[in-house]
Amino acid sequence: MDDAASVPDETGFVADEVTAIVKEAVDGVLAAEAYNEQMVGRWTSNCLEGCVKRLVALGKPYKYIVTCTIMQKTGAGLHTAASAYYDTATDGSRTIRWENKSMYAITTVFALAA
């Protein structure tokens, strides 16, 4: 058995790693908050900044695109979709839903090999 094949590529896109980073960043901003329309702009900026800083700190050869949508829980429907054309062998994307009692946050990360 080839040992190199059993060692994960440390520069590759790891969806679970990205999910953990996003959940931690969003939770750090929103966990103790109740929905407040006046704060949504600041919260989305803080969530994005936290995600990008943590992703870049991984030191992987990617350019990142991160989006965040915060919506009040009112029983209304929300449908969102993201699409990209990229090399699935090197690039990746992940969409993460976070929620508390009063709001949802939908964050999408696109990682494109540099």
Q: Looking at the domain assignment, is residue 41 inside a domain? A: yes
Q: Which tokens is 41 given? A: 């702009």
User: Mean of the pLDDT values across residues 49-53?
Assistant: 98
Nearest to 64 by CA among 10, 24, 16, 107: 107
Residue 3 pLDDT > 60, yes or no?
Answer: no
Residue 87 pLDDT > 80, yes or no?
Answer: yes
pLDDT of residue 83: 87
Q: Which residue is listed with tokens 């949508």?
A: 69
Percent of the chain with pLDDT over 90: 74
* Per-residue CA distances from 93 to 37, 47, 98, 111 (Å): 28, 17, 16, 6
Backbone angles phi, psi at 3, to 5 degrees: -65, -35
pLDDT of residue 5: 44
Q: Which domain holds residue 96?
A: 11-113
Q: What is the DSSP letter of 59?
A: T
User: Mean of the pLDDT values across residues 40-53?
Assistant: 98
pLDDT of residue 31: 95
pLDDT of residue 23: 97
Q: Looking at the domain assignment, is residue 89 inside a domain? A: yes
Determine contact, residues 109/66, Cβ cutoff 8 Å: yes
Q: How confident is the model at residue 28 (pLDDT cuts 50, 70, 90)?
A: very high
pLDDT of residue 7: 41
How many Cβ atoms from other residues are within 10 Å of residue 110's Cβ? 19
**Domain total of the chain:** 1
Determine contact, residues 93/101, Cβ cutoff 8 Å: no
pLDDT of residue 100: 95
Q: How confident is the model at residue 9 (pLDDT cuts 50, 70, 90)?
A: low
CATH assignment of the domain containing 33: 3.30.1140.40
Q: Looking at the domain assignment, is residue 1 inside a domain? A: no
Q: Looking at the domain assignment, is residue 4 inside a domain? A: no
Q: Looking at the domain assignment, is residue 3 inside a domain? A: no
Q: Looking at the domain assignment, is residue 70 inside a domain? A: yes
